[in-house]
Structure 1
Amino acid sequence: MTSLIDVIFLLLLFFMLSSTFTRFAEIELRAGGSDGGATRGEVLFVQLGETALTVNGQTADLDTLPDFLRAQERGARLIVSLSDDASAQRLSDLLVALAAFPDLPVTVLGDA
């Protein structure tokens, strides 16, 4: 007869080899860099809350944000400020929406 530890080891080995490890979604994060302090173009300020989203003081939502950003000049920079009630999922959704603009540098402000 086979000992119980051998059976457990074989089951563990089978499940490890038959499972796949995929990433369902990825958000590319870039490290903050120094551009010499020069600000080129317009600076857009986004305030992100759990239900609210404002861009330079104008109310927006995640569906209309790409249209709003396309209307801005090239070379604009985006600063995102999180309110206390903003969740990590809400920030993820915003960063996914901003991924359509690879030339738009995004800076997320956070607590130190």
Structure 2
Amino acid sequence: MRKRRRKGRISMTSLIDVIFLLLLFFMLTSTFSRYSTVELVAAAPSGQGASEAPPIFVQLSSDSVRLNTRDASLETLPVLLRADRAHGSDVTLIVALKGSVTSQRLTDFLVAIREVEGVTPVILGAS
């Protein structure tokens, strides 16, 4: 009678090597983005810190920006805001969201106005 040969165990070494090479490949070929942060502050109670300058109205939609009834873009918005507050006092920026504005679009808007000092945004709900 013949003896049955037992099959040897499968070596896991080559599988671990392949997984390590794949991990190394994906780590070296991926790009790492630096995400910017946007500070969010809760609204103050009415009557506190109210400025005497009239507020600036902004209507933000998924494809356009209107600043006090003028068409603008996210690139030109800081320049227009600086021109509107030329007198130097702090101003409230009332932002109305129109239609289906994505959170990325709102974040891009907040990043664009962050470089203008003395502007406090107040975000209204979508209409």
Q: What displacement does 1:28 show? A: 2.4
Residues of 2 paired with 1:59 and 1:102: CA distance?
22
**1:32 corresponds to which letter in structure 2?**
A
Residue 106 of structure 1 aligns with which residue?
A: 121
- How many pairs were matched up? 111
Q: CA deviation digits over 1:72-97, x for unaligned, max 9? A: 24211111111122222211111110
Q: Is the 8 A contact 2:38 2:107 kept in 1?
A: no
CA RMSD after TM alignment:
3.2
TM-score of the pair, normalised by structure 2:
0.63
**5+ long unaligned stretches in structure 1:** 4-21
Mark the structure with the bigger radius of gyration: 2
Residues of 1 paired with 2:92 and 2:79: CA distance?
16
**5+ long unaligned stretches in structure 2:** 1-10, 13-31
Residues of 2 paired with 1:84 and 1:107: CA distance?
17
Once the two structures are superposed, the pairs formed by residues 1-112 of structure 1 within 5 Å of their partners are 24-34=34-44, 36-37=46-47, 39-40=50-51, 41-71=53-83, 72=85, 73=87, 74-110=89-125
